[in-house]
Amino acid sequence: MNAFEPITLNNGVRLKNRLVMAPMTTYSGNPDGTVSDEEIAYYKERSGGVSAVITAVAYVSEHGKGFLGQFSAHEDRYIDSLRRLAKTIQSGGAKAILQIFHAGRQSPANEVPEVVGATDITSDGQPTPRALTTEEVQQIVRDFHEATRRAIEAGFDGVEIHGANTYLLQQFFSGFTNKRTDVYGEDRMKFILEVVQAVQQAKEKYANDAFIVGYRFSPEEPEEDGITMDQTLELVDVLADQPLNYLHVSQMQFDSEPRRYSGKATTRVEALQETIAGRLPLIAVGSIYSKKDLENASHIGADLLAIGRELLIEPHWVEKIQRGEQVETALDTKNPPVLPTTMFEIIKSRPGWVPMK
């Protein structure tokens, strides 16, 4: 794969290269759930080189918030705020893709009316969630539909359904967190597929084929009853036949190896591509900092690569790599690039998340 060659998605949309900005939490939205001026500046600085920017995730339901300082897509009053974000990204030349989710049991108790989840299984340090009723699950499906409509009205080029990183969609798929006895327990893919269908229905009603819909997933979980690589491949095999435009694997290292897996592939990307078999493009991500990293990642078999933490360090990394210039691979905390204040403070408080000088 040549990272700087264009790619045309199955809906006819042409991306100018194979590099996208990975979704990263900013913790810097306004208290009322709107996008802040600092976030606008942050995205403006990073929208020039990549072909698409996948935003920090917006929540689709009032009780779906996952972070302090998170912007929202759960009511129509946020459309103007979202429109401002979409226009900012597009003004740099990138496609604007709004990531959407429900945090489920990962919601901070002080940020939501009530913490809810697939079942009442709690996570470390979190309050015990209340298990959603069947009717409430169906309402959240409708919430995804409405959030997609708002993204379309705001002028976004697409949405990414966030089914990764242990949030609600993953909680329903995982045998560790889904002990339900209703239809959503009998078929742990059901909620995911209903959300995909609801998003697609919103696209068909309010947009056209050029509107991009992607799905992000995590490959495995460490718990005994958690998701295995084999189970993820079963899900991906089904997703690859859905009306989606790409799949996006969430992992910390682009060439990470599968753990609980019955096949022979040596990397998760290889295993995923064997299953996808060209039906949809796959975005891979994880620890791409230098030109050498990019060269190595370009040979793992993915169709596109998402750049995350390196764009925090070097906002114009794509342009510099393409021009053959040197890039910083560690964040200069004394002379930082354009970053929202709270995001910058959180980066500094979490050693090991972003390489720092």
pLDDT tens digits for range 299-353: 999 999 999 999 999 999 999 999 999 999 999 999 999 999 999 999 999 999 9
Question: In this structure, is residue 289 part of a structural domain?
Answer: yes
Question: In this structure, is residue 87 part of a structural domain?
Answer: yes
Structural domain boundaries, residue 218: 7-349
Question: In this structure, is residue 114 part of a structural domain?
Answer: yes
The distance of Cα 122 from the centroid of its chain, to the nearest Å, equals 23
Q: How many domains does the chain have?
A: 1
Q: What is the pTM of this model?
A: 0.97
**Per annotation, catalytic residue among 27, 59, 78, 167:** 167
Predicted pLDDT at 126:
80
Band the pLDDT of 82: cuts 50, 70, 90: very high
CATH label of the domain that carries residue 320: 3.20.20.70
Asked if 100 and 144 count as a contact pair (C-beta separation under 8 A), the reply is: yes
Band the pLDDT of 125: cuts 50, 70, 90: confident
Strand partners, 213: 159
Question: In this structure, is residue 356 part of a structural domain?
Answer: no
Q: Distance (Å, rounded) from C-alpha 133 to C-alpha 294? A: 45
Q: Distance (Å, rounded) from C-alpha 128 to C-alpha 109? A: 10
pLDDT tens digits for range 237-295: 999 999 999 999 999 999 999 999 999 999 999 999 999 999 999 999 999 999 999 99
Question: In this structure, is residue 354 part of a structural domain?
Answer: no
Band the pLDDT of 104: cuts 50, 70, 90: very high
> What percentage of the chain has pLDDT greater than the value 90?
98
Asked if 5 and 17 count as a contact pair (C-beta separation under 8 A), the reply is: yes
Question: In this structure, is residue 234 part of a structural domain?
Answer: yes
Predicted pLDDT at 270:
97
167 annotated active-site: yes
Question: In this structure, is residue 355 part of a structural domain?
Answer: no
Question: In this structure, is residue 357 part of a structural domain?
Answer: no
Average pLDDT of every residue of the chain: 97
